[in-house]
Amino acid sequence: MDAKSLNAKALILAAGAGTRMKSEKPKVAHEVLGKPLVRWVVDAAHDAGMSEVISVLGHMSDKVSPLVEGDTTIVMQTQQLGTGDAVNAARDAMTGNDGAIAPGTLVVLSGDCPLITPETIRALVAKREQTNAAVVVLTMHMDDPFGYGRIVREGAGDAVARIVEQKDASPEEASITECNAGFYAFDAPALFDALSRVSNDNAQGEYYLTDVLEICRNDGREVLALMTQDAEEAMGVNSRIQLAQATRAMQRRINERHMAAGVTMWDPATVWIGPDVTLENDVELLPNVMLLGATSVGRDSVIGPNTRLTDTVVGRGCRVDETVAEGAQIDDKATSGPRAYLRTGAHLCEGAKAGTHVEIKKSTIGAGSKVPHLSYIGDTQMGAGVNIGAGSITCNYDGVNKNKTVIGDNVFVGSDTMMVAPVTIGEGAIIGAASCITHDVAPDALALERNEQKEIPGWAAKHMAKLKAAKEEKAQ
């Protein structure tokens, strides 16, 4: 069923302090695989087809707001007085021009539960619309239910009598293993009518959203449960331990999706893939690989081991081994590593090579060109068929400005060469080893920059004899 056709909206609760995180930033800003917790929930709501997504902010809202602005309506909870108070903060946003709450379904989600899926959100909406229930509660079975609100059912059907919080539960209620997952689909007018009658007469002095269920039931409206088959979806993040658990769960979910689509992983437990990464089939990921941001990898490429790619585009048939790349582009059949660093703006054209202990920054390495080992190439435009000898660098920084080096096609640069920018080396030129090139080199020329070599016959033997004699004299 299409949630959009139901005029369903989502309300995301993201106002809490999250004190157990012991952090200087709000809980919902902590990340799972490079993406803030609250963004996982916002994106799931959008993917479910919600007509509007509303975010309730409070604690450190200045740091949370940038994460949700633009595609959600932001409302503020000025005091953190419980979940009922948080939802009530959205009353004005849900009120139409006629002063009444707009009809339709409102799905309430927790901003610290990144594993919720669009499919489950749609299922909540569908059940509420099909039954015209006042509320549909997402529930889950927990082997260890401690800390969760317990679902007290009415008989054997889907009807829910009430939800009892851990601190308010009797011993009998505390033994119940069906728990509140913290996600609800409400009939919006019924929700806000009930909220106006919620009391804070409880152990915490807070307004519980769960009290709405009993009020609606007393009004003669149905309150139903929808049991999820995967309790992991409702995993909340309230500590660093739970953050790691959620990250591991998301890692497994993402990896299984890619493997099902034709990606090979030697050891999925050591492969970490962000939510926005795209992989073609027949990509092979070796152990200890991290693919983050907007990274994409083309067919028949092998990545790893020990590789981290962020916002990097890798073409087809590439080999990327022990490489760190950020904002780089690696074209078809290019190779990188082992132990290479491709910084922002690095571009390996088709068949190019960045080898061992090579760093490349804001430079184009032309088709078939090679920077095999122990080199730094920065702010450089390099043509095709170039060979850079070991230990060569482009000296691009003069202490104030970054300057450019231009290297033409088919240039051969000898080992241990410094090219002091700005400088241009013409097509087909050869640079002798150990040169310091400070002036432009003409096409097809040989450029050398060396001091005259001097030799003193027999000096080494005499020098060593002198050192040994001094040592023996000191020992006496």
Question: Is 390 labelled a binding residue?
Answer: yes
Question: Is 123 labelled a binding residue?
Answer: no
Question: Is 15 labelled a binding residue?
Answer: yes
Closest-CA residue to 179 (of 126, 235, 128, 132):
235
Question: Is 435 labelled a binding residue?
Answer: no
Residue 275, preceding bond cis, omega within 30 degrees?
no
Distances in Å between the Cα of 379 and the Cα atoms of 36, 369, 384, 435, 447 are: 33, 16, 16, 20, 21
Question: Is 29 labelled a binding residue?
Answer: no
How many CB atoms within 10 Å of residue 379? 18
Residue 338, preceding bond cis, omega within 30 degrees?
yes
Question: Is 410 labelled a binding residue?
Answer: no
Q: What angle do CA 24, 26, 29 make, to 5 degrees?
A: 115
Question: Is 220 labelled a binding residue?
Answer: no
> What is the helix (H) or strand (E) element at residue 302, kind and residue range?
strand 302-303
Question: Is 336 labelled a binding residue?
Answer: no
Task: Fill in the amino acid letter for 330.
Answer: I
Q: What are phi and psi of 239, to 5 degrees?
A: -150, 170
> What is the helix (H) or strand (E) element at residue 438, kind and residue range?
none
Extended strands (E) in 142-281 = 150-153, 160-164, 178-187, 223-227, 264-265, 271-273, 278-279
Question: Is 207 labelled a binding residue?
Answer: no
Question: Is 102 labelled a binding residue?
Answer: no
Question: Is 427 labelled a binding residue?
Answer: no
Question: Is 159 labelled a binding residue?
Answer: no
Question: Is 306 labelled a binding residue?
Answer: no
Q: What are the tokens at 270?
A: 């050591």
Which residues are known catalytic residues?
373
Question: Is 415 labelled a binding residue?
Answer: yes
In the annotated binding site for UDP-N-acetyl-alpha-D-glucosamine, the residues are 13-16, 27, 77, 82-83, 110-112, 149, 165, 180, 238, 343, 361, 376, 387
Binding residues for Mg(2+): 112, 238
Residues of each annotated binding site? 13-16, 27, 77, 82-83, 110-112, 149, 165, 180, 238, 343, 361, 376, 387, 390, 396-397, 415, 433, 450
Residues contributing to the annotated binding site for acetyl-CoA:
390, 396-397, 415, 433, 450
